[in-house]
Amino acid sequence: MLHVQRRSLANLLPRHHLAFMVSTSYDSVIASADEVQVKLMEEMVIQVDEQDNVVGPISKKDSHFKDGVLHRAFSVFLFNSDNQLLIQKRAAEKITFPSFWANTCCSHPLYFPEELEEKNHLGVKRAAIRKLEHELGIKTDTFQPEQFKFLTKVLYRAPYDENWSEYEVDHILLVRADVKYELNENEVAEVRYVARDELENVLNDPSMLISPWFRLISEGLLPQWWNDLDNVLAKDNDNVVINNYIQ
C-alpha cells in the first residue's frame, strides 16, 4: 500500500540561491555551459505524478528548466565495510547544483524498458549501476541489482536559481561494498568517506555547500537507517512510503 507523508522543505539552500533574477531563454542560459553537460540534457527521463505513476518520457532539460516537471530520480547511499558513507562533491561543470556535496550518486532512470521496470525496483537499481560507473568509474560488474536495497521515496522540490530546479520523486537505495573508483571529473570533483559521528559536522560545515536532497535525507531519514544498517540492508522495504517535503 502506498502512503504519502508530508513534511516541510525549508532553509535547505544558501540564501543567495533564492534571490531570483530576470527570466532568460534556454539558449541564452546554456550558451556558456559545459558542452558535455548540455548534451546530457537531451536524455529522456521518466515523468511521473505525485504517486510516482509514469506519465511518459520527458527530456532532462524540460524536467529541470525553470520550475521543472515532476520526474523519477534515485539517490544511492554507498557504505564501505566500516559502515562509512561515500559522499561526492559535484563537479563545477554541473548545470544544477555545481560544487555542492551530495550522497554517493544521484541521477535518473531513463525512459527505456530496462529502467522503467518496477518489479523489485529493478529499473532504478539498474540505473544506479549505470550511473555509478559513469560518475565514479565503479565498474558495472561490481554489483548485482539485488545488492541495492530500496528504502523509501522522497518527493521534493528545490530551485537552484532562476533557471534551474529539481522536482523529483527520489527513490532511496542503500548498498554496502568496498569499491574501487576512478572519478569522471566532468561529473564529480572529489569524494570522501564519512563516519556516522561525522555527519552532523559535515552538514554544518560552512565551507561545504550541501545539496538540498542530501540535507533533507540526512537530517530526517538517514540517521535511523545508519543506526541499524545490518537490518536495513537485509531486504527491500515493502512498505512503500512517499515522504512529501513539498509545502
Q: Distance between CA 87 and CA 89 in Å, rounded?
A: 7
- Local structure of 236: helix, strand or coil: coil
Q: Position 200: which residue type? A: E
The reply to whether 106 belongs to the active site is: yes
The SS3 call for residue 110 is strand
Which candidate, 38, 75, 40, 72, places its Cα nearest to that of 57? Answer: 72
| Three cell numbers, residue 183 | 572519478
Please, which residues have CB within 8 angstroms of residue 6's CB and are 6 or more apart in sequence? 244, 245, 246
Helix (H, G, I), strand (E, B) or coil at 238: coil
Return the SS3 of 61.
helix
Which of these is catalytic: 115, 166, 168, 187? 168
User: Of the listed 106, 135, 166, 187, which one is catalytic?
Assistant: 106
The DSSP annotation for 122-186 comes to HHHHHHHHHHHHHHH---GGG--GGGSEEEEEEEEEEE-SSSBEEEEEEEEEEEE--------TT
133 annotated active-site: no
Report, as residue numbers or ranges, the catalytic residues: 106, 168
